[in-house]
Structure 1
Amino acid sequence: MADTPLPTTWAFDSPLTDVPAAVDARLDRFLTGQAGRYDGIDPVVTDGIADLAGFMQGGKRVRPLFAWAGVRAVLESGAEPTGDEAVQVLDAVSSLEFIQACALVHDDIIDHSDTRRGRPTVHRTFEARHRSDRWNGSAADYGVNQAILVGDLAFAWADDMLADAGIAASSLARAREPWRQMRTEVVAGQMLDISLEASGSEDPAGPYKVNTYKTAAYTVERPLHLGAALAGGEESTVTLLREVGRDIGIAFQLQDDHLGVFGDPAVTGKASGDDLRSGKRTHLLLNALRLADAADPEAAARLRAGVGSVTTEDEVDALRQIIVDSGAAQESTDHIRTLTDRAVSRLQGAGLGRAITEELIAVAHRLTERRS
């Protein structure tokens, strides 16, 4: 576990910029406790817990940040405090990171990824141990099987951390609905994503639907909903925050898709045109195919043939140009701006506290205008 100092003070008006470090500290505390509780089972379990703890280091903590924003949005609108302590609510929202860990561990298996944030993925780590110890059977299968279980463990510990946060039973009851919805939506979004790749569908509505459930709902909308519920927010406030979260979340993913084609490798840390090389069926790509089919079928055919097979920078540049010429890149940029502007406008007219309104607007712009 990382040696992250616990926050000496944590209050309901703590700024969003302080959330990531505070979440790190609470996760370290929880993981240390879990390791002490279960390390005696077997060394393989000890290794799995250590791998999970290492895997969870370095995240941006976007989901707890938005959940904390939901808490503050309600309280700074004049709602009566629920009686929970701020650090207890911080623990509750920090539990979201275990759902994220589960999703990423399993995502790395699905995508056959070797690394995550510069470290070997969990399944590759277990695979390497199998090879090093010269065990029986397939090292690759062993790695995948153990990583699936580590992801499952993270999913279970999300529930444990929420339940053990110490918040009142009434607060936990209010959190139950967004929590249940979010867990199902992230799995459903992943199922949609896998089926989209397998079906070969070129309907741009497919990845947009994936974006709605796998990214927007899970990353922004439901965390805001969860935070507002924990704070006892009224239905009108919850609805407003969910609408804002949906727009920011979709814009966030569309910007991610844009960076997957046009991002600077020195900034993103990924290969130039990474999505074009891997053949990822994003909304940007499928919309470009749709537009090019209508305006320039030969260009559409080159794009269709090149995606997933290009290797050189010149080949990637040629596909990028087709996407630009089709108008899809500009459409995507315009839609990102429209969604962000609508979210900002809703926040400005919502009557929330000034501080949280300004902080949420700043986060919205940072996520939807980012370059990495």
Structure 2
Amino acid sequence: MDGDVSGAVGRVLDEWLAGRVARAGALDGTFAADLAHRVADFTGRGGKRVRARLLWWAMRACGGPDVPVGAALATGAALELLQTCALVQDDVMDGSATRRGRRALHVDVAAQYAPGAGGRGAADLGAAAGVLAGDLALVWADDLAAAARSELREPRRQQVREVWSDLRMEMVAGQYLDVHGQVTGSRSPARAIRVAELKSAMYSVERPVHLGAVLAGARPEQVEALRRSGRCAGVAFQFKDDLDGVFGDPARTGKPCGDDVRAGKPTYLFAVARARAVARRDRASSEVLARCLGDPELDEAALDRVREALVATGARAAVQSRIERLSERSTEYLERARPLAPGAERLAALLRATAGLPPVGAGGTGGAR
């Protein structure tokens, strides 16, 4: 399995999704075509399976040859379905038109019915479909996670159940705080960090690593060090995503550039820019940020002015520096965990890549500036 973790998880997903889609088809053809098939397709072509790989390599780093391979692969596949839930519903809440270089699921459903339902009716149907598709992905994720746990013995089964339960609630809390910040204008860097922890760091990195460690039967102190390592890498991951949301290339990121600005997302990048503009009495940058953040009709010229303000205030450089420091701390915590080779090296490399830094030796060590 070590040679192709993503492929192994993909095969588990393919088998599981085929069974779920078949059951949906037996229930109702429209439901299966509009939702079940789209959830399966979205999950099947999804990403780099980073969460599943983090789980796997944390398990391999902490355990010997006798590890629950089947349960690990199935739990990793369940994480992929949980990610589908998060992304599909996030696109609805943010009004995002694309995801992974294609139409967002709710937009795709709306387009299917637009000729007959009319513009507004189709849009409403699409939004409802997005919410329900996310719910369906969550149901399938829970079913698969429960099936994976059935292969484990106590107390490990209960430990995995508790981590999975915490992970789900943290994901929902993070998404709510993200939307809450957009509406209320919460602007403090500390609040932005908490949102980053809950919305991304914990469910995307810390908890997958935690699950892998628990599946391996790791010692409590080892689990704690690995969780801290994962959280640091996960916050760095979110900060890198924030930078990509403003400065990234859509061809590489698979999503439009500037949506975070138009939505007025309470990101750490924007919080730092505001704070620095005030501290430096940079009225021009303050006015640009106040006027543009949260304006859904912002054009490209205005987006460029926001980018200029983020650079002028030093926010872009400060966030990049914070990413590098977080990555260093992630490495330090990983070393404290004293995991075993060969999994330790693979886990370290994956955490570093997750934080958005190049491999050690590829253009420098990537240490903090």
Q: TM-score range by the shorter chain?
A: 0.7 to 0.9
Distance 2:147 2:188 in 1: 44
- Residue number among 43, 65, 68 corresponding to 2:53 in the alignment: 65
Give yes or no for the alignment of 1:187 onto 2:172.
Answer: yes
Give yes or no for the alignment of 1:93 onto 2:76.
Answer: yes
- Residue number among 307, 311, 324 corresponding to 1:324 in the alignment: 311
Unaligned runs of 5+ residues in structure 1 are 1-9
Distance 2:269 2:214 in 1: 34
Deviation per CA, 1:115-147, whole angstroms, max 9, x where unpaired? 221332222233233335559982222222232
Aligned equivalent of 2:361: none
Give yes or no for the alignment of 1:163 onto 2:149.
Answer: no
Instruction: Give the root-mean-square deviation of aligned CA atoms.
Output: 2.3
Aligned equivalent of 1:262: 247
Aligned equivalent of 1:37: 23
Give yes or no for the alignment of 1:233 onto 2:214.
Answer: no
Aligned equivalent of 2:89: 106
SS of the residue 2:74 aligns to: helix
Offset of residue 351 of structure 1: 1.9
Distance 2:75 2:252 in 1: 33
Change beyond 3 A, Cα 1:319–1:113: closer
Aligned equivalent of 1:361: 348
Distance 1:271 1:368 in 2: 21
User: Partner amino acid for 1:89?
Assistant: A
Deviation per CA, 1:261-316, whole angstroms, max 9, x where unpaired? 33244533455555335433311111111111121241212232233444234x43
Aligned equivalent of 2:107: 124
Distance 1:136 1:253 in 2: 35
Change beyond 3 A, Cα 1:139–1:275: closer
Distance 1:125 1:153 in 2: 17
- Residue number among 48, 52, 64 corresponding to 2:39 in the alignment: 52
SS of the residue 2:174 aligns to: helix
Aligned equivalent of 2:277: 292
Change beyond 3 A, Cα 1:143–1:81: same
Unaligned runs of 5+ residues in structure 2 are 359-369
Change beyond 3 A, Cα 1:272–1:226: closer
Is this contact kept in 1: 2:178–2:265, CA < 8 A? no
Change beyond 3 A, Cα 1:104–1:350: same
TM-score by length of 2: 0.87
User: Partner amino acid for 2:50?
Assistant: V
Deviation per CA, 1:198-239, whole angstroms, max 9, x where unpaired? 101221222211101110100000111111112222211110
SS of the residue 2:27 aligns to: coil
Identity %: 38
Distance 2:28 2:251 in 1: 42
- Residue number among 291, 300, 305 corresponding to 2:291 in the alignment: 305
SS of the residue 1:352 aligns to: coil
Distance 2:104 2:220 in 1: 41
Q: Equivalences for 1:276-287 in 2 at 5 Å?
A: 276-287=261-272
Is this contact kept in 1: 2:106–2:129, CA < 8 A? yes
Distance 1:269 1:323 in 2: 22
Is this contact kept in 2: 1:289–1:303, CA < 8 A? yes
Change beyond 3 A, Cα 1:149–1:271: closer
Deviation per CA, 1:166-207, whole angstroms, max 9, x where unpaired? 522424322011101000000000111111011012212222
Matched positions, count: 351
TM-score by length of 1: 0.87
- Greater shift in the superposed pair: 224-233 or 284-293: 224-233
Is this contact kept in 2: 1:89–1:167, CA < 8 A? no
Aligned equivalent of 1:150: 133
Q: Equivalences for 1:243-254 in 2 at 5 Å?
A: 243-254=228-239
Change beyond 3 A, Cα 1:190–1:136: closer
Distance 1:344 1:238 in 2: 15
SS of the residue 1:164 aligns to: helix
- Greater shift in the superposed pair: 296-305 or 18-27: 296-305
